[in-house]
Amino acid sequence: MTTIPVKDEWKAHTKVDEATYEAWYKKSVEDPEGFWAEHAKRLDWVKEPTKIKNVNYMYPDVSIKWFEDGELNVCYNCVDRHLEKRGDQTAILWEKDEPGDAETISFKQLHARVQKFANVLKELGINKGDRVVIYLPMIPEAAISMLACARIGAVHSVVFAGFSSDALADRINGSGAKLVITADEAPRGGRNTPLKANADKGLAKCEDSVKCLVVQRTGGDVAWNEGRDFWLHEVSEKVGDECPCETMNAEDPLFILYTSGSTGKPKGVVHTSGGYLVYASFTHEVIFDYKDGDIYWCTADVGWVTGHSYIVYGPLANGATTLVFEGTPAYPSASRFWDVCETHKVNQFYTAPTAIRALMGKGDSFVEGKDLSSIKILGTVGEPINPEAWNWYYRVVGKERCPVVDTWWQTETGGVLITPLPGAHALKPGLASKPFFGVQPVMLEPESGKVIETTEAEGVLAIKDSWPGQMRTVFGDHERFMNTYFQQYKGYYFSGDGARRDADGYWQITGRVDDVINVSGHRMGTAEIESALVAHEKVSEAAVVGFPHDLKGQGIYCYVTLMSGTEPSDALREELIKHVRGEIGPFAKPDAIQFAPDLPKTRSGKIMRRILRKIAENDTGSLGDTSTLADPSVVDDLIANRQSAS
């Protein structure tokens, strides 16, 4: 295993060197109240908190509160407080899908646009505590609408524009939203997605009272539902320019973000105001070594938590220039990322392993010759990064000049929990490395739940004690929150990930140990894909597993049992693939569908997924014990008809 020691240049410009890390980390776990009281001061509070931490991790009474008597407004902290010092500095740098005509929005302009937008929300009847679904492409209004909600105390729930109309409807209904914000069309990779048309289909499955606010992005034709639909530019003309910030309690919800789990429908992860913003802004500053004046770019979509914490809230709370990118890494060519870095002199670049692997596959020529000397830090997030991709990123993109921060976290955690800090930690390719301040990872034995004390070990990853950015509940279902994260291993937050720890105490995250799969950084429950499949009239039963995929990290392998009398065919296979895409979204497209007359079940009727995983992985030599199956011969048929994945 190669180790890259901290270079002197990295130490020179960082705020947190190794000694500082050790001292701060010690303080953060020995005196969390003192540590976080101090770091809460990075925000502007209407009323400074005096009660710092109030946490019960013990099932079935889990309750998490930070800064509970504090009052603040998140939008004020991300916009208004910067006006005096950096009103004319660019807050949002918008790189459109088509290269060449980027737009800049200064903090002053952002302030004006957010206030207008907030008044539009009020005009449409949105009040403090109401939920608003945001279904937008990567345009400035995505960030502006989030901030406008925060300004008036409305709770946003952003739905990734790649989700289908059915998934959108589930989220509108699940959150009880009164309003959906969308755009006429979403340009991406040179093609326009009819976003308003998708929203119309979703809204058809919702209460008639749900309104729809439409941003004009392309000017393309849209169907119009008079009385329900409103153009942003039209309502904007009617409302005032100024909108005061609502004073919120630190524990008032800021947003809901739906994410997939191992069972049931996606859960509405709830994040609150004070702790979330302290954690997002602090991690953004320290992990990316962010300095005043830096141009910071995270390539994620605001539809995912990465976009919330590290495109919008963290960077803007720190007064950063945050780049909002509408396009894709491959359009118009595989040099797009590097062209954007060169043109805008990007200082921090944060992307996903799946993008790195795809670009690595195109060859070095797309990077060579680009001036990437402005970049100081390279970051990755979303899935385990294989050492080959890590090394390519470090050597070919970073020219061995920039530390790579492999940041492990989750929708639930609000911000990064495990990462190397540039300037403090030697780097090991593929290892997320060390806990952030206040984070106490523990390795548990999966079966017994015992804490593994040996340094070099493998097990499941759990976290002892809370940090301010942690999710507080599942929207409308606190039981589900406790059952999912706190029931299996009492006294700990269970991440759902497996991990290894090396002799130096460095953490490596190996991937999910539950029925969640990660395809190109998109998180999905196998149960969701199964329920999409069985919703098809010709399918009687389905079992879905992940398998290793060179580019996507994991691929989707589906075993499908058809209704009796239905014949398997390639046409039906295509139809089912299309069906799943339609039910969930294009990113959930199955890579392989195997028609299976029977699935391997125990005598009590439980599907043995372990066996299905092995077959999908083509690792049939080590199927393990199949004698407990009701009908062991099922396995031979499955092996004989294994599909090679696309």
As annotated, the binding site for ATP includes 382-384, 406-411, 497, 512, 523
- Enumerate the known binding-site residues for CoA: 188-191, 306, 520, 581
Site string for ligand WT7, 348-387 (x = CB under 6 A): ---------------------------------xxxx---
Q: In what order do the strands lie in the sheet with 457-464?
A: 440-444, 457-464, 492-501, 507-512
Q: Is 301 in the site for ligand WT7 (CB under 6 A)?
A: no
Q: In 185-267, which residue ranges form alpha helices assigned H by DSSP? A: 195-203, 232-238
Which of 138, 305, 359, 439: binder of ligand WT7 (CB under 6 A)?
Answer: 305
Identity of the residue, 342 or 458, whose beta carbon is nearer to ligand WT7 in the bound complex: 458
Site string for ligand WT7, 431-450 (x = CB under 6 A): -x------------------
Q: Name the residue among 281, 273, 276 with its Cα closest to residue 245.
A: 273
Q: Is 10 in the site for ligand WT7 (CB under 6 A)?
A: no
> CA separation (Å) from 304 to 60, 297, 308, 552, 631?
29, 15, 7, 17, 42
CB 350 within 8 A of CB 310: yes
Question: Given the rule CB under 6 A, which of 56-64, 299-307, 582-590, 612-620 is the region that contacts ligand WT7?
Answer: 299-307
- Enumerate the known binding-site residues: 188-191, 306, 382-384, 406-411, 497, 512, 520, 523, 534, 536, 539, 581
Q: Residue 428 corresponds to which tokens in the numbers above?
A: 């090991």
Cα separation, 241 vs 234, whole angstroms: 14
Q: Name the residue among 19, 91, 13 with its Cα closest to residue 425.
A: 19
Question: Given the rule CB under 6 A, which of 36-44, 53-61, 402-410, 524-532 is the region that contacts ligand WT7?
Answer: 402-410
Cα separation, 113 vs 115, whole angstroms: 5
Which of 281, 321, 347, 410: binder of ligand WT7 (CB under 6 A)?
Answer: 410
Identity of the residue, 319 or 525, whose beta carbon is nearer to ligand WT7 in the bound complex: 525
Identity of the residue, 194 or 387, whose beta carbon is nearer to ligand WT7 in the bound complex: 387
Which of 135, 297, 350, 409: binder of ligand WT7 (CB under 6 A)?
Answer: 409
Cα separation, 244 vs 266, whole angstroms: 34
Alpha carbon dihedral 518, 521, 525, 526, in 10-degree steps, equals: -40
Q: Is 145 in the site for ligand WT7 (CB under 6 A)?
A: no
Cα separation, 646 vs 642, whole angstroms: 13
Which of 66, 230, 390, 408: binder of ligand WT7 (CB under 6 A)?
Answer: 408
Residues in 504-563 at the binding interface with ligand WT7, rule: CB under 6 A: 509, 511-512, 518, 523
Q: Name the residue among 509, 427, 522 with its Cα closest to residue 462.
A: 509
Residues in 178-197 at the binding interface with ligand WT7, rule: CB under 6 A: none
In a 10 Å sphere around its CB, with 0-12 CB exposed, 13-18 middle and 19+ buried, how is residue 197 labelled? middle
Q: How far is the CB of 385 from ligand WT7 (least distance, A)?
A: 7
| 224: DSSP letter | -
Identity of the residue, 74 or 509, whose beta carbon is nearer to ligand WT7 in the bound complex: 509
CB 492 within 8 A of CB 464: yes
Q: Is 496 in the site for ligand WT7 (CB under 6 A)?
A: yes
Identity of the residue, 251 or 383, whose beta carbon is nearer to ligand WT7 in the bound complex: 383
Q: Which residues bind ligand WT7 (CB under 6 A)?
A: 259, 304-306, 381-384, 406-411, 432, 495-497, 509, 511-512, 518, 523
